[in-house]
Chains A and B, each alone.
Chain A
Amino acid sequence: MNLTLHIWRQGGPDQPGRMVRYDVKDVNEHSSFLEMLDVLNQQLIEKGDDPIAFDHDCREGICGSCGFVINGEAHGPLPKTTVCQLHMRHFKSGDTLHLEPWRSRAFPVLKDLMVNRSAFDRIIQAGGYISVSTGSAPEANLTPIPKPLADRAFEAAECIGCGACVAQCPNGAANLFTGAKVAHLNLLPQGQAERETRAVGMVEQMEQEGFGSCSNFAECEAVCPKGISIDNIARMNRDYLKAKLQGVNRLVVVGA
């Protein structure tokens, strides 16, 4: 199969970027999208050109490293699929594809299709953990957790932090990511001690990073490779508003 690609090329964080056209011939339909780019990069290297930079690690859809926008859709057209798990058989010969990095003030472009997602790490640092004294692991069945709660917490914990939600949101909001991370711990008994400070800390850190606000478009849910539900955003909103009404303030401010 033959494809026409238009790819965002940008030399570095402070350099201007532009879309560059590449005509790719004889693409193997069994290759993944990233393998297709690997082949293109090999050809670029052989010609002495700069290969296209993109993030990737596991290539199994579980680490959250990969991701860019294909024809206006984060991770491409296949629902619940990361770009590393998207195979070329889902495209037709002759297709024209536009590849762009996640666009957000909080995710500055590092190079080509690669963005800096440290803002997500700082949101986690602001409360996305539970504080326990270290020592030997506690007995696993010590804390009973009702099955429906365990299921909902697990569904929230599926978030791999890829950033597709921010990329697709017309407002560049990170509420699905932060909502999933807040809800995951706030649903569980182990998360209760820090429930309020977690919600306030993570929400206010998200704000500080320069993400937009949620208009309840649900664009994020539609492109999330893990199918994280926007119910998690409602859970975060409830915990945040409750904590604020009780006058809870954040404990840590994570510097940018």
Chain B
Amino acid sequence: MAWFTDFSKAAIGKKAVMAVSGIILFGFVLVHMIGNLHLYEGPGHLDEYGQFLRHMGAPALPPNGALWIARLVLLSAVVLHIWSAWQVTLMNRAARPTDYTYRPQVHTTYAARTMRWGGAIILLFVIYHLLHFTTGTVHPSFEEGAVYHNVVAGFSVWWVSLFYIVAQLALGLHLYHGVWSLFQSLGWSHPRFNLWRNGLAQAFAWIVTLGNISFPIAVLTGLVR
């Protein structure tokens, strides 16, 4: 603990915590999106995939065991990510006590400037998403284990789908600046691959965003029912 306090004392240490927790969350959003592609194979396959997630690691682990380990890792990543984002935000506010009277010219990207608001939208989305498809609290006709039914019934409500789409666009922007930025924050910079960083960040953001957005759109257009 003392080691962590010292490591994360300076902003550069906090940004490393933010970047590493971001990498864990990247891995998650990518795998999550790919797993959900089972939706296009029909009810049997998606529900089976849900079963598989619950029984991962058996017989070494009890039912839901691996799932809970993954949830704990993700929760820690989210907590560390938000904690470091909050800390550097406070620090940045304090560093410029007097604003310019003439609005500063902007040279950076829209994605970079919206990291804080985007992050807040994603957080609200994650809470809603858990209440929607994991606990079913805000779902009109939730059935435990009937993943395909839950997704189709959930996305049939147009404004729910709209909220999902908006949140995924926010995630896409966050991923774009995040992937590019983490190389900088962790010092992974080299003239040989610096030119690829922007392309990699864009490709990653587009793949995750388009994949995720396709699900509500497929339900709304009747492609999946």
Contacts and interface: CB of A to CB of B under 8 A. Distances in A.
Interface in B7-44: 7, 9-16
A172 B6 contact: no
A172 B94 CA distance: 9
Given A105-B97, A203-B10, A244-B13, A216 B92 contact: no
Contact of A216 (B9, B104, B177): B177
A73 B104 contact: yes
Contacts of A239: 187
A216 B103 CA distance: 20
Chain A CB count within 10 A is highest, among B96, B115, B185, for: B96
Contacts of B100: 69, 72, 100, 103
Interface in B89-110: 91-92, 94-108
A237 B189 CA distance: 10
Given A170-B92, A217-B108, A72 B103 contact: yes
Given A171-B92, A216-B177, A244-B7, A98 B101 contact: yes
A171 B113 CA distance: 11
Given A71-B102, A170-B104, A213-B15, A237 B96 contact: no
Contact of A215 (B96, B104, B112, B194): B112
B161 interface: no
B96 A105 contact: yes
B186 interface: yes
A72 B186 contact: no
A104 B95 contact: yes
A231 interface: yes
A71 B185 CA distance: 30
B107 A222 contact: yes
Nearest to B14: A213
Given A104-B95, A214-B184, 17 more contacts: A19-B101, A73-B104, A103-B96, A171-B92, A171-B95, A203-B12, A207-B9, A212-B92, A212-B96, A215-B115, A219-B106, A222-B108, A231-B191, A236-B12, A237-B187, A239-B187, A245-B7
6 contacts: A98-B102, A105-B95, A168-B107, A212-B95, A213-B92, A233-B184
